């Protein structure tokens, strides 16, 4: 028997497979297809203080090995999530979830995070300072070490639960941001969010996305995400949740060997709603194939 359990800041997960925020909603639609309790956890839809309609359409553009999205943090707002989504979620998911939080000011991050921190269903707070699809928030905090540290420190002051900061790859040196967040008190890091990209409609001779640019995700970015997890692992002493193009159980093993403790799966869920279940089901066999008895023992293993 292999051991697929991993631990994030004292929170033990049955396995490291976590659907990424924005690709799994609040789990309801997926729970109609399979028992999502097989997952380690999931990160629910990015939540802001106030409701957001999101960006204008078109919001999605296809690429050869993935997609570009510019949804723009569409969500019903934190009060609605607490009053409706979290209670409904308890009916079909019996583990704690990850609350993904975004904002347009430090005060918004603090208020939203403090409200979600009080919820029993929430296992940790994921502070998204890396969304490339909104103006004046998200990634604008994640590209400057001082701003990233300011948000981290402020959210940590109001949260009793672990605070993980989600980092953008759209920077010269992601390790600089990672270290700044760790020094500001972050309990862990999540990386990477999407890469900024665009497509042009040849018939219209204009950008496909209404927002012109959006976040590129999917298998095409996996090697880049793996490289950044590797680099950050060398610089910090806190857990990393790795993401970016993960589609198979083999990808999960690679991420852990590079330094991740757990892994989020994003775009794959939009192509195949059973993607995460398949990864969880295949993980034990892949571990046995490569002589791995415990996932905890291989975290950062490629560095040794």
pLDDT digits (tens, 9 = 90+) for 233-249: 999 999 999 999 999 99
Looking at residue 142, what is its pLDDT? 86
70 found inside a domain: no
62 found inside a domain: no
Is residue 269 within 8 Å of 276, Cβ to Cβ? yes
28 found inside a domain: yes
Overall size of the chain counted in residues? 304
Which H or E run contains 25?
none
How far CA 138 is from CA of 116, 150, 263, in Å, comes to: 18, 13, 21
Nearest Cα to Cα of residue 147 among 192, 193, 103: 103
Q: What is the CATH number of the domain that holds 15?
A: 3.20.20.70
In this predicted structure, the answer to whether residue 138 has a pLDDT above a threshold of 60 is no
99 found inside a domain: yes
| Distance in angstroms (rounded) separating the CA atoms of residues 11 and 5 | 10
Pairing of strands 11-13, 6-8: antiparallel
Q: What percent of the chain has pLDDT over 90?
A: 95
| Distance in angstroms (rounded) separating the CA atoms of residues 214 and 29 | 25
Express each pLDDT in 19-50 by its tens digit: 999 999 999 999 999 999 999 999 999 999 99
Looking at residue 116, what is its pLDDT? 98
Is residue 74 within 8 Å of 52, Cβ to Cβ? yes
DSSP bridge partners of 190: 166, 241
| Number of domains making up the chain | 1
Looking at residue 141, what is its pLDDT? 84
Nearest Cα to Cα of residue 194 among 99, 61, 302: 61
Six-digit token pair at 7?
Answer: 């631990």
Express each pLDDT in 117-130 by its tens digit: 999 999 999 999 97
181 is catalytic: no
Residue 145: pLDDT band with limits 50, 70, 90: very high
Six-digit token pair at 200?
Answer: 């042009």
Six-digit token pair at 249?
Answer: 């159980």
Looking at residue 133, what is its pLDDT? 55
Express each pLDDT in 173-191 by its tens digit: 999 999 999 999 999 999 9
Domain span at 93: 6-49+84-130+139-194+216-303
103 found inside a domain: yes
Residue 131: pLDDT band with limits 50, 70, 90: low
| Distance in angstroms (rounded) separating the CA atoms of residues 200 and 230 | 33
Of 131, 159, 181, 190, the active-site residue reads 131
The dihedral built from the CA positions of residue 104, 116, 75 and 219, taken in this order, carries a sign that is: positive
Express each pLDDT in 59-90 by its tens digit: 999 999 999 999 999 999 999 999 999 999 99
Residue 217 is classified by DSSP as E
20 found inside a domain: yes
Radius of gyration of the chain (CA): 18
Average pLDDT over residues 214-221: 96
210 found inside a domain: no
Looking at residue 130, what is its pLDDT? 73
190 found inside a domain: yes
Six-digit token pair at 103?
Answer: 């904002």
Looking at residue 136, what is its pLDDT? 53
């Amino acid at each position: 028997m292999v051991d697929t359990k991993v631990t994030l800041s004292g929170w033990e997960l049955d396995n490291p497979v976590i659907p990424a925020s924005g690709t799994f909603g609040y789990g309801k639609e997926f729970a109609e297809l399979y028992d999502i309790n097989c997952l380690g956890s999931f990160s629910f839809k990015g939540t802001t203080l106030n409701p957001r309609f999101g960006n204008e359409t078109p919001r999605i553009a296809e690429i050869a090995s993935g997609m570009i999205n510019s949804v723009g943090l569409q969500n019903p707002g934190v009060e609605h999530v607490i009053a409706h989504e979290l209670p409904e979620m308890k009916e079909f998911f019996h583990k704690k979830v990850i609350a993904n939080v975004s904002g347009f000011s430090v005060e918004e991050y603090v208020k939203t995070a403090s409200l979600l921190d009080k919820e029993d269903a929430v296992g940790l707070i994921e502070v998204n300072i890396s969304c490339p699809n909104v103006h004046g928030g998200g990634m604008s905090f994640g590209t400057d070490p001082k701003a990233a540290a300011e948000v981290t420190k402020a959210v940590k002051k109001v949260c009793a639960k672990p605070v993980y900061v989600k980092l953008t790859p759209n920077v010269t040196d992601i390790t600089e941001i990672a270290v700044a967040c760790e020094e500001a008190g972050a309990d862990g890091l999540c990386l990477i969010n999407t890469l900024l990209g665009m497509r042009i409609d040849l018939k219209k001779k204009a950008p496909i996305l209404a927002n012109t640019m959006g976040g590129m995700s999917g298998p095409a970015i996996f090697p880049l995400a793996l490289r950044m997890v590797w680099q950050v692992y060398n610089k910090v002493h806190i857990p990393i949740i790795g993401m970016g193009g993960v589609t198979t159980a083999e990808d999960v093993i690679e991420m852990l060997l590079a330094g991740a403790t757990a892994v989020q799966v994003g775009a794959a869920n939009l192509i195949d709603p059973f993607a995460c279940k398949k990864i969880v089901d295949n993980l034990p066999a892949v571990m046995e194939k490569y002589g791995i008895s415990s996932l905890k023992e291989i975290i950062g293993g490629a560095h040794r």
